[in-house]
Structure 1
């Protein structure tokens, strides 16, 4: 009788597990699902209409992280323009609200310059690392508002699996170690100046600048800059790498490999 109950219990557990998997349950609090949205400016025809596209992620088990990712992703647009009510772009908390801001900015710009090309906003969020209980997401935006070229923007979002919280550079640094981080970043900048990407740059014209936009990747701590931060637009978005060997005693041990 005991063996019959054991077999029956195992069979029931197998059925329940299969059912959970069929519903997409995996037990991972940081499980992600893709979100893809695209919208054309309503009631607008021709080349001057605005378009908004987004391909990002949501956390089915963690709505607060989904909200935070959207806040950060749509916040990349803060420098695009001003909305008609005077509030800065990039304050939207949903795709629809963000698209409405872009469309309002496009309509306002066309009133001044009717032949202005259409605004474009393309946003993405992708996982670039999942290591040592850290999930690293890269948020990318490309925003075009009628100039000679669009504006690429990148921001990192680092999430601790232990706490399911977003962590920033200050959370990663040991107490009192920011000067050591800045010194390591300056050394990384000197190495970058010798790269092909920085070829021909004048350090006097494009001096070193600090950045807290960091991601703990497999090969080291990546520090991402926006265009014009360290170099002209043609040089793109520089990424400096700090080897973990230079960050021993600078970063908390759990952020080192």
Structure 2
């Protein structure tokens, strides 16, 4: 009789465990991503250099909250945000931009999934504003979205408390390594003109923590958006352990 009861309890425990696994999100499986892209020129313009808007964005059918975050962050990259409140939507931005844009003006906004791992969705944001000059002005940004925490991670969320100074010291060491790899360490004027700076653009990619820089931040325009990469082993005790790839 006791054996029967024990067997029944074991079967019940296995059944409950199986049911629980059915309802637990599988963070190893990436979220479905759908792309939406369009390009429109100024209404009524038939010239070869009509103003245009190019939008290339991603959607997450299972996580519409992330769609809203991506759209808002893209709108923060537009020139409108430099003068006040950004538009309410990408469609509204397009209408406002085309209404005032001159010939040879164009704007590009893009969001793409750089990668997904360990329940993190890393979205890279790009912008390019061409006002008809010698070259346009590009912009960049990252979203590190934790599906487990259901939020966008800030640097404070990523770091062990009290380790921010150590993080930026490690980043500065990576900057020195970048100078050596490009040969710029041998140019005293370059080193003086383009010193190390902090950047808000940080991504927890699978291979390394990436710090990305705007043009004219730590290098001239011609060198583009510089990326510093810090391997995770160098950030032991600095990045929260649960955010190391494979540990979550």
What TM-score comes out, normalization by structure 1 length? 0.77
Tell me the equivalent position of 1:239: 227
Alignment-derived partner of residue 51 in structure 1: 52
Q: Deviations over 1:185-209 (max 9, x none)?
A: 1101101111238575611111111
1:103 aligns with one of 98, 103, 106: 98
Deviations 1:14-35 (A, max 9, x none): xxxxxxxxxxxxxx79432111
Residues in 1 aligned to 2:81 and 2:160: alpha-carbon distance in whole angstroms: 36
Aligned counterpart in structure 2 of residue 204 of structure 1, from 192, 195, 203 = 192
CA offset digits 1:144-194 (Å, max 9, x no partner): 112110112111111112123211212101111110111011101101111
Map of 1:72 onto structure 2: 73
C-alpha change, 1:215 and 1:190, in structure 2 (3 Å) is: same
Q: Give the match's secondary structure for 2:166.
A: helix
How far the C-alpha of 1:129 sits from its partner, in A, is 1.5
Unaligned residue ranges in structure 1 (runs of 5+): 1-27, 111-116
**Secondary structure, counterpart of 2:225 in structure 1:** coil
Mean Cα deviation higher: 208-217 or 29-38: 29-38
- Supply the distance in 1 between the matched residues of 2:130 and 2:82 (Cα, whole angstroms): 10
CA contact (8 A) 1:198 1:231 kept: no
Aligned residue number for residue 170 of structure 1: 156
**Number of aligned residues:** 215
State the alpha-carbon separation in 1 of the partners of residues 200 and 181 from structure 2: 22
Structure 2 residue runs of 5 or longer lacking an equivalent are 1-28
Quote the residue 2:139 is aligned against.
Answer: 153
- SS in structure 2 of the partner of residue 195 of structure 1: helix
Are residue 129 (structure 1) and residue 115 (structure 2) matched? Answer: yes
How big is the alpha-carbon RMSD for the aligned residues of Structure 1 and Structure 2? 2.2
**1:81/1:160 CA distance change after superposition, 3 Å:** closer
- Aligned counterpart, 2:26: none
The equivalent of 2:39 in structure 1 is: 38
| Contact preservation (8 Å) 2:53, 2:107 | yes
Contact 2:184 2:191 in 1 (8 A): no
Question: In structure 2, do the counterparts of structure 1 residues 215 and 96 end up closer, same or farther at CA, with 3 Å as the change threshold?
Answer: same
2 CA distance for matches of 1:222 and 1:104? 38
Secondary structure of 2:76 counterpart: helix
Question: Secondary structure of the residue that 1:191 maps to in structure 2?
Answer: helix
Distance 2:217 2:183 in 1: 14
TM normalised by structure 2 equals 0.79
